[in-house]
Structures are given as C-alpha cells and as structure tokens.
Amino acid sequence: MKHIKAVIRPEKLSDVREALDEAGCSGGIMVSEIMGQGNQKGIIQAWRGEKYQVDLLPKVMLDLVVKDEDLETVKKIIIDNARVGEIGDGKIFVYNVESVTRIRTGEEDNDAI
C-alpha cells in the first residue's frame, strides 16, 4: 500500500476529484487547506507602488492511501488534472504504508482501503 501526498493548486481540487471519480479511483481521501512554499519561496507582489514578498501561498493537500497496483494510475490522474505548466503546479510525495485497519470491522490492509 502506498500513501500519496499531493500538494496542488486549490482551484484544481474539483477537477482532480472528478477525474478520480470517473476513473473509479475515489476511495478514501483527506483534503487539507495548507500554506506552503516551493523552490521560488513565494512570489513578489506589488501593492500601491510597494513591492513585498508573499512567502507562503495557499495550496490544497490531498492524502490518499491506495493499493500498490493503483499508484501509477492515481498519480497520472492527479498530474493530468492539476497541471497548468507553470511554477507552483505542486508536487507528489509517495510513502510506503505499513498497515491499514478499518476500525468498524477490524479488516486489514488492502481489504481496509
């Protein structure tokens, strides 16, 4: 099992979720509104002639735990639907998951996803 942590543009959330739904890949998901910075360390904005640095930008973070065999499909759906092609498109991190337990039934691992 893999844990996919994807940071995307907030305005891309609905596209990503709809595409996951359509592909039948919409099991459990966690959605968090976060602030973050990437390589560019935010952006410079101008306001009333003054320039100032905005170092943390709003992003949406998705956490999905999927079966190993679904990893590449889910990653591709996220990339295809979150990508604008400009800086700040986001990033995908993948982790190994040791175990999953459904509290209600006691089911484990792939049966519990």
Ligand X SMILES: Nc1ncnc2c1ncn2[C@@H]1O[C@H](COP(=O)(O)OP(=O)(O)OP(=O)(O)O)[C@@H](O)[C@H]1O
Residues that bind ligand X (CB under 6 A): 7, 36-40, 57, 59, 87-91
Measured from each CB, the residue nearest to Mg ion is 38
- Does the protein bind Mg ion through residue 38 (CB under 5 A)? yes
- Please return the burial class of 90, using the count of CB atoms within 10 Å of its CB with bins 0-12, 13-18 and 19+: buried
Q: What is the pattern of x (binds Mg ion, CB under 5 A) and - over residues 59-88?
A: ----------------------------xx
d(CA 92, CA 6): 4
Look at residue 102 and give its three-state secondary structure.
coil
Q: In terms of CB distance, is 60 or 77 closer to ligand X?
A: 60
